[in-house]
Structure 1
Amino acid sequence: MTDSQNIRLERIGAVTSDIGAEISAYDAANQLLFVVSGSTEVQVFDLSDPANPQPFAAAPVIDLTDLGAPIGGINSVAFKNGLLALALEAEIQTDPGAVAIVDINTIVNGTPIADAAKAFQAGALPDMVTFSPDGKMVLTANEGEPDDGINPEGSITIVDLSGGLADVTAANVTTANFQAFNGRESELRAAGVRIFPDIPAAIDFEPEYIAVAPNGQQAFVALQENNSVAVLNLATKTVENIVPLGLKDFSQPGNGIDASDRDGAINIVNQPVFGFYMPDGIAAYEVHGSTYYITANEGDDRGDADEAGTGDAIRIKDLGDVVSFGRNGLALDSKFDPSITEDENLGRLTISSVDGDTDGDGNIDQLISYSSRSFSIWDAHGNQVFDSGDQIAQITAAQAPELFNANNGDPEDFDTRSDNKGAEPEAVTIGEIAGRPYAFIGLERAGGGVLVYDVSQPTAPEFVQYARNDEDIAPEGLTFISAEDSPNGKPLLTVANEVSNTIAVYEIDVPQQPDATDTGSGSSRDPGVKQEEPTNPMGDGNGDSAAMSIYGRDYAETLMGSSGNEMIFGNGGMDELIGKAGDDKIYGGSQADRIMAGAGNDVIYANGGMDYINSGSGLDQIWLGGASDAIVVLETGDGYDKIMNYQAGSTRFKFANPGNLTYTDSAAGLQISQGNDLLAVVAHRTTGDFGTPSFV
C-alpha cells in the first residue's frame, strides 16, 4: 500500500440548509462557505469551526433580488481573490442569463448587495461558473437548454477582470459561441460528436461544466449531451475544437455492468452494450508539466422517445414504441438474441434511440446507454489515458451493498438505478495534499458519498477511500480546502448534498511519514504505533465508533493488533499483518503480505502482490482489489467469508481438507460449502463464470 492510501477522510461536522444545498465555494480570508441551490439567495456559513458550521451572523443570506434585475435563480458559485461569482438564470429559462460578481469584503462590512456587485449579461441558462487560476477571468457555461418550443444557442461567457472589478464594463465581457461549427454537422458526427438530427451545431451544443487548465491557456468545456468536450482558447476567447469522447464497451473485461433493476441482485457482468461517457463535472490538473482533465461520467438524455417531440431515451424492450422525430417504432438488429429484451436481462435498460444504427437500415445495431458509470482521465489533446471501468460499481457493492444502485440513498430502492445510469458519478474536484493530487468524485445515486483516488499517475490512479454517511444524500458540489487555507490547518472537503440539503465537512487526515532516523514513536501519526482513530476510513464512513490505527513503514515488518477494533495499514515490503480479536480492518501493502485477521467480523483489503489471507473466524469480508495470485484460506467453523473481486485463474484457495466441497448459486453470489458448513460467498460470481477453482 502506498503512502497516499493512508490519507483518510472523516466527517467532522455538518449543517442542514433550509433552502437547499447544491454548489459551494470557500473564502479562506473570512473563513466563509457560500452555498447556492437554484433559489435567488446565497447562503453564507461560518466555517471558522469546521466541526460546527453555523450561519454567518453578519450576513447569513445574500439576496440577489436586491440587485434590481429579475432573475430566476442562482445555479452556481465560485470564489477567488475576494470576489464571489454567481451564475444567474433568467426568469424565462431560454432568455439570456447573467453573471454577477460580488466584492465579498464589502458585504462582510455591511455594504448592500446593490453597491457591492456588478452583473453582466451571459448566454441562456448559465449553469456553472468558475475563475481562471490567476483570478483574472470569470467563465460561465451557458447550457442553452430548450424549453417551451424555444431552443437557444449554448455558449461560454468570459468576463475579463484583469483591470479590477471597479473598471469592468460590458466591453470586458465576451461570449464565445459555436456558430463556426454550423454546416459541419456531418463532419462532426462522422468524427463521433453526438448531434441531434436536423439541429444546427451551435444550438445543439449544451455546455455543462468548465475546467480551466492550470496554465490558464485553455478551458475544457463538457458538452454532456453531445458526449464531447469543447476546447476554449482563452487568449482568443474562441472555441477552437470539439473533442468526441467515444464509447465505453461494457463487453470488455473490467467493464462489467448491472443493467437490470429486476434481477433481484447485484449482478456486475459484461454485456453487449456500449455507454456514452457524457460527463457532468470536469476538473483539470497538471503532472510534470502536462495537463490532464478528469471527467465524472454521469450521462444524460433529452427526454422520452415514446412521446412526440425530440426525445431520445427508450428502454430496449420498448423500441417499438418510439415516435419522436416523426418515427413509427424501431427494432433491434437480428444479430441480437431476443431474450435480451426480458426484464431480468437488458429489456429495461435505457438506451438512445437516435444512435446505434451503424448500417443505416433503420434498426439498432449498437445498444448505447447513457453514462459509462465511471470516471476518466484525458490528456490535453483529448486522448483517454485512464477509465475506472466497473470500479465504482464494485466498490459500492462491496462497501454499501444494501444501497447498490439505489435511488436517493434508500435501501428500499436497492438496484432501482441499474437500468438507468448506475451510481451516477456527478461531481469531481482535485486537491493537492502533501504534494500529491487527489481526485474526489461525488456519486449522486447508490449510497452517495465521495470516492477518493490518488491521481499522481494519470494512467494508473490508486483508489484510496469511499467516504459516505447515511445523513448525506446525493452530493452535487464538492469544495476542496487546502491545509494552508483551512481554518484548522488540516485539508478539508465540503460536500453539498442536493436531496438531504446537508453540507458535510470532511477533515482529511494526513499521516506523518517517517524519515530515515524515525524511531517509530512520538508523532501524531507515527508508523508502527497504535493511535486513536475516530472514523471508519473505508467502510460506511459514518465514524460511529472509535478504533485504533497501526501504520506500517516502507519495509517488511510485523504489525500486530490486540483485542480491540483496529485498523492496520501495511506500507512497503512483505508485511505480516495480524488483527487478533475484534472487528478489524486490515489494509495490505503493495507487495506480498501475510494477513491474519483472527476472530471478529473483519474487513480485509488486499492491494497488490501475492497475498496470503486468513480471515479467521467471524463474518468477514475480503476485497482482493489489485492483489494478484492471492491465496485465501477457507476454514470450517463459525462464520464465513464474503469475497469481492475474485479473479478466476488467479485467486487460489487453501483448505485443511479440500474434500466434500460444493458450489451453489445464490442471490448474494456463489456459495462454497463443505458438507453443511458455508465457507465463503464469492460476490458477483455464479457456477457459470466461477471457473475451475485453484487450490494450494
Structure 2
Amino acid sequence: MPLRMICLTSALALSAGQALAEMNFNRIASFPVVANMAAGEDTSRETSPEIIAATADGLTLAYTDSPLKALGRIDITDPANPKPLGNITLPGEPTSVAIKGQTAFVGVNTSESYTAPSGLLMAIDIASGDTLGSCDLGGQPDSVAQAPDGSFIAVAIENERDEDLNGGQIPQMPAGNLVMLDLTGDSLDCASMKVVGLTGLAEIAGSDPEPEYVSINALGETVVTLQENNHIVVVSRDGSVVSHFSAGAVDLEGIDATDERGALIFDESQKGRLREPDAVAWIDDDHFATANEGDYQGGSRGWTIFRKDGTVVYDSGTSFEHAIVQIGHYPDKRSDAKGVEPESVTFGKFDGTPYVFVGAERASVVGVYDVSDPAAPVLKQLLPSGVGPEGYAVIPERNLLVSANEKDLIEDGGARAHVSLFELQNAPAAYPHLTSAGADELIGWGAISGMVADQDGMIWAVNDSFYGFQPSIFKIDPSQTPARIVDVIRIHRADGNPAQKLDLEGITLDGEGGFYVASEGRSDRLVPHAIYHVDANGLIKAKSGEIALPPELQAVERRFGFEGITKVGNTLWMAVQREWKDDPKNHVKLVAYNLDTKEWGAVHYQKAEPQTGWVGLSEIAAHDGYAYVVERDNQHDVRAVTKKVYRIPLSEMVPAPLGGELPVVSKELVRDLLPDLKSTGGYVLDKVEGLAILPSGEIYVSTDNDGVDDSSGETMFFSIGAAGQPS
C-alpha cells in the first residue's frame, strides 16, 4: 500500500511563552555520555555523569563517572552540538571534580571497606589526560571545591556509613573531616594539607561527622554540610571554625506522604522534618543556599538560604515541591520518603542577575530562582533536566547552565544517562508545555495517555494505570501558553469510590456531555480489557457503564490492548497496540463496537517492522473523513526510529466479523514526529500516546511521562498544525 505525505498548514508550536520575549533558560542540547566510550567498549555497561565542571575558557566539560571509574570529557565549543572527547581512566571511583584553568582536581575513592576508607586528590590535565600530581587524603573524599581565587582546594572527607550495618545508624567510625590543600599555580601542594576536625559539633552523632558537600566564598571561608548529622560548619582559611549550627527542621503541610497508592493526594503533613542538607553553595560572602535532600532520617523537600551565623533567611517549605506538582513532575513513588528530593544547588550570576539553581533528583527538575533579595527568592523557571540530576556547572560568560544527570536506565531498556545544556536566551521559556498552575486547587497529574477535543476547543485527557487508584479525566485549555489543566474529573463508581485499577489509554466524547474511555487490561492483575461509559461528573453509568470484550476477542487477547478510542457515528473504534494471538506479523486490529446493534467487528492495520524493540499503535482519533493513529516504537534517544502520525480513510474502515479474515486498511503519513521530539534539545521520549484534533483540524500531540518513575518526568504537549490535502 503506497504511503503519501500530507502537507501541514502550520509549523510546530512548542513554545511555552508567546508573550513579549524575555530572558529565559532553554535547553539547547543533551549529550548521551555513552558516546564517550571508546570503540570496542561494551556500551551496555552503566555509565553515569555525576559532578561536572567547566574549564576556564568554558569550552570543555569534565564529569565524574563512578561506574566506569573515569573522568569524562565533552567539547562544547558549539554548545548546541556537544562532542565526545573520551574518558580518562582513574584508579578508583571518582566522587567530585573542580577545575582551575585546564586542570581537573578529582576526588577519587580507593577505599577497601567502610572501616578502612582511603582516597586521593588527583590533578589531571584535561586535554591530554595526564596525571600531574596526586595527594593521599587519608580517607574517602566526597565533595571537592576550589577557592574563587584559585589558592586552595577544600575536600569533604565523608568516610560514609554502611547503610546495611545496624540499619544504617550512626555513629560508625572512622569519623569524617575537612581537608584543605594549597595550590601552587595549577599544582597540588600535598605538604600543605591541613586536616580540620569536625567532631563534637553536631547534636546528632557528634562523634561521627559525615561531611557531604563544600563550597568556598571570596573570603576563603569553607561551608561544610554534615548531612546525616543535620549540621553545618563554616571554616576560615586558616582552618578554624567560624560558626557551626544545626540545619534545623521544618513543618510540612499539604504534601503526599503515602507511598505506592497510585494517587496524588496532597492533604497530609509532617512535623519537625530535619533538613539534612546535601549540596551547598555560597550566594555572597554572608549567605549560602542548601538543598535539603535528607539521607538519614530527614528531608524537608525544599531548600534554604542561611546566613553564615546560622540565621535562616529563607526556606522554600512546600512551595518548590508544589510548583513541581503543577508541571507533572511529582514522583509519587517517593511520597513516603523525601518527595521530589532536592539534592543539588548551584549559584551563578548571569547578566548581572544572581541565580540559585536547585536540582530535584527524583523529579528530574531544575528550579531557577532569582536571589537578588536572598530573603525573598523568586522562582523564575522549572527546567527539564534529564533523569536524576546530580551536579551542575554554570558558565555565565557563555550564558550556559549544565546539568549532569546520573540515572542510566540501560538495564530497563530506558533512556541513557545524559548531560543537558541550557542557554540563557532572549526568548520565551520553552518549558513546561503543560501545567495545572492557576487552577482553583493543587492538581497533580502525570502519565497522560489518550486525548480528545471537544467543540469548544478544550482537550480532555486521561491518565494511565500508574495512577490506577485515581483514574482521572483532565480538562486542558490548549489556547493558553503553556497549555493549562483547568479542571479534573475523578472517575468513580456508584458508591462514590474511585474506579480503581483502571488503565485508561483512550478517551472519546459520547455526544451527551460524557465520555467513553478505553482501559487496557492486565490478565496477570485480573483486570480485563474493557470500555467504560462515564458521565460528565465521572460516574460510570449503571446500565451502559462497562462494555466487556466478546468471547471472540477474549480468546485471542494479550496484555497490550486498547490504546485509544474514537467515536464515528454510533460506532466506537479502538486501536489495539500490538498483535494478538490471531494477528499476522506486524498487523494489529482496529476494533469496532456498534453502540446500537452491540455488534463487534474489526479491520487490520499494517504497522512498521521494528528495527529494535517493538512497534505498536498508541492512539486513534477521527476527523473529517479520516481516522488518525499514532504509530511508535518503544525506543528512547538515538535508538528511536518510528514516531509517526498516519491517517486512514474512514471509507475503508468497514468492520468485518471477528474470527475470520480481516481487511487491511491503507494509511497515509501525516507527520514524522522525530524532528518535533528533538526540537527542544532533549533526547527523544519513547511514549507518544496522546492525539487530539480540534474542530479547526489542528492536531495536538502529547507524551506519557510514566509518572516520573525511572523517567525524566518530561511531558511534551504540542501542535503539529492542521492537516491539508495529500501532496
TM over 0.5: yes
Give 1:496's aligned amino acid. Answer: N
In structure 2, the partner of 1:36 is 64
Q: Which residue of 2 aligns with 1:297?
A: 292
Q: Summarize the Cα distance change of 1:510–1:225 in structure 2 as closer, same or farther, 3 Å threshold.
A: same
**1:382 pairs with 310, 320, 326, which one?**
310
Report how far residue 440 of structure 1 moved.
1.3
In the alignment, structure 1 residue 63 sits paired with structure 2 residue 89: yes
Structure exhibiting the larger radius of gyration computed from Cα positions:
2
Q: Which residue of 1 aligns with 2:405?
A: 496
Query: Is 2:31 the counterpart of 1:14?
Result: yes
Measured after TM superposition, the shift of residue 272 of structure 1 is: 5.0
Is 1:97 matched with 2:112?
no
**Residues 90-138 of structure 1, C-alpha deviations (whole Å, 9 max, x = no match):** 231444534434252xx52x4x72xx41111214210111101111111
Change (3 A) 1:160 1:509: closer
Gap change, CA 1:209 and 1:276, over 3 Å in 2: same
Following superposition, the deviation at residue 173 of structure 1 comes to 1.0
Query: Following the alignment from structure 2 to structure 1, what is the Cα–Cα distance between the partners of residues 378 and 232?
Result: 25
Shift in alpha-carbon separation, 1:623–1:89, aligned structure 2, 3 A: farther
Alignment counterpart, residue 449 of structure 1, candidates 365, 370, 378: 365
Give the structure 1 partner of residue 271 of structure 2.
Answer: 273
Q: CA separation in 2, counterparts of 1:296 and 1:5?
A: 28
The residue aligned with 1:327 is none
CA contact (8 A) 1:4 1:454 kept: no
Q: Structure 2 matches for 1:435-474, cutoff 5 A? A: 435-446=352-363, 448-468=364-384, 472-474=386-388
Instruction: Provide structure 1 residue ranges, at least 5 long, that are not aligned to the other structure.
Output: 66-71, 182-187, 302-351, 353-369, 406-414, 512-524, 526-532, 542-582, 584-597, 604-616, 625-638, 645-663, 669-673, 680-696
* Counterpart residue number, 1:170: 190
Aligned pairs for 1:211-610 (under 5 A) are 211-213=215-217, 215-234=218-237, 236-250=238-252, 255-271=253-269, 273-286=271-284, 291-301=286-296, 352=297, 370-400=298-328, 403-405=329-331, 415-446=332-363, 448-468=364-384, 472-482=386-396, 484=397, 486=398, 490-500=399-409, 501-511=416-426, 536-539=430-433, 599=457
TM-score scaled to structure 1, two decimals?
A: 0.55
The one-letter code of the counterpart of 1:244 is: S
Measured in 1, the distance between the counterparts of 2:307 and 2:20 equals 25
Q: Provide the C-alpha distance between the structure 1 equivalents of 2:197 and 2:337, rounded to a whole number of angstroms.
A: 32
Structure 2 counterpart of 1:126: 141
Once the two structures are superposed, residues 554-577 of structure 1 have per-residue CA deviations (whole angstroms, 9 ceiling, x without a partner) of xxxxxxxxxxxxxxxxxxxxxxxx
Contact 1:285 1:292 in 2 (8 A): yes
Q: 1:231: Cα distance to partner?
A: 1.2
SS at 1:372 equivalent: coil
1-structure distance, mates of 2:497, 2:22: 35
* Compared CA separation, residues 270 and 260, structure 1 to 2 (3 A): closer
Quote the Cα distance in structure 2 between the aligned partners of 1:262 and 1:95: 38
Distance in 1, matches of 2:21 and 2:305, equals 19
The structural deviation recorded for 1:299 is 0.2
Residue 154 of structure 1, CA deviation: 0.7
User: How many angstroms apart in 2 are the aligned matches of 1:392 and 1:62?
Assistant: 37
CA RMSD of aligned residues (A): 3.9
Q: SS at 2:137's partner residue? A: strand
Give, in whole Å, the separation in 2 of the partners of 1:119 and 1:165.
12
Check 1:233–1:26 CA distance in 2 against 1; reply closer, same or farther (3 A cut).
same
- Secondary structure in 1 matching 2:254: coil
What secondary structure does 2:300 align onto?
coil
C-alpha separation between the residues in 1 aligned to 2:322 and 2:403?
Answer: 25
Cα offset for 1:83?
A: 2.4
Question: For residues 389 and 3 of structure 1, what CA distance do their matches in structure 2 show?
Answer: 32
Q: Do the aligned partners of residues 264 and 285 (structure 1) sit closer, same or farther apart at CA in structure 2, a change above 3 Å counting?
A: same
Cα displacement string for residues 433-478 of structure 1 (whole angstroms, at most 9, x for unaligned residues): 12111111111113x1211111111111111111116xx2111111
Letter in structure 2 aligned against 1:474? G
d(CA) in 2 for partners of 1:479, 1:86: 15
Residues 429, 602 of structure 1: alpha-carbon distance in 2 compared, 3 angstrom cutoff: farther
8 Å contact 1:298–1:372 — kept in the other structure?
yes
Instruction: Decide whether aligned partners of structure 1 residues 450 and 623 sit closer, same or farther in structure 2, where only a CA change above 3 A counts.
Output: farther
Deviations 1:147-183 (A, max 9, x none): 598711211111111x3345x543211111125x3xx
CA contact (8 A) 1:623 1:643 kept: no
* Alpha-carbon separation, structure 2, partners of 1:450 and 1:64: 30
* 1:345 aligned residue: none
Q: CA deviation at 1:55?
A: 1.7
**Structure 1 residues 539 and 388, CA, compared in 2 at 3 Å: closer, same or farther?**
farther
Going from structure 1 to structure 2, the CA distance change for 1:279 and 1:480 (only over 3 Å counts) comes to same
Distance, in Å, in 2 between the alignment partners of 1:228 and 1:76 is 21
- The answer on whether the counterparts of 2:122 and 2:132 sit within 8 Å (CA) in structure 1 is yes
What is the letter of the counterpart of residue 275 of structure 1? R
- The equivalent of 1:571 in structure 2 is none
Name the CA shift for 1:134/1:99 in 2 (closer, same or farther; >3 Å).
farther
| Structure with the higher fraction of residues in strand conformation | 2
Task: Letter of the 1:273 partner, please give it.
Answer: K
Q: Deviations over 1:220-269 (max 9, x none)?
A: 101000111011111x213343210211112xxxx422110154422223
Q: Which of 53, 60, 63 is the equivalent residue of 1:25?
A: 53
Whichever residue aligns with residue 290 of structure 2, its letter is T
Q: Deviations over 1:195-219 (max 9, x none)?
A: 23xxxx3x41110001112x23311
Say if 1:272 and 1:178 are closer, same or farther in 2 by CA, change over 3 A.
Answer: closer
8 Å CA contact 1:453, 1:463 repeated in 2: yes
Identical pairs, percent: 28
Q: Indicate the residue corresponding to 1:682 in structure 2.
A: none
Partner of residue 159 from structure 1, selected from 181, 186, 189: 181
CA distance in 1, matches of 2:401, 2:102: 20
Shift of 1:28: 3.9
Higher relative contact order (CA 8 A, sep 6+): 2
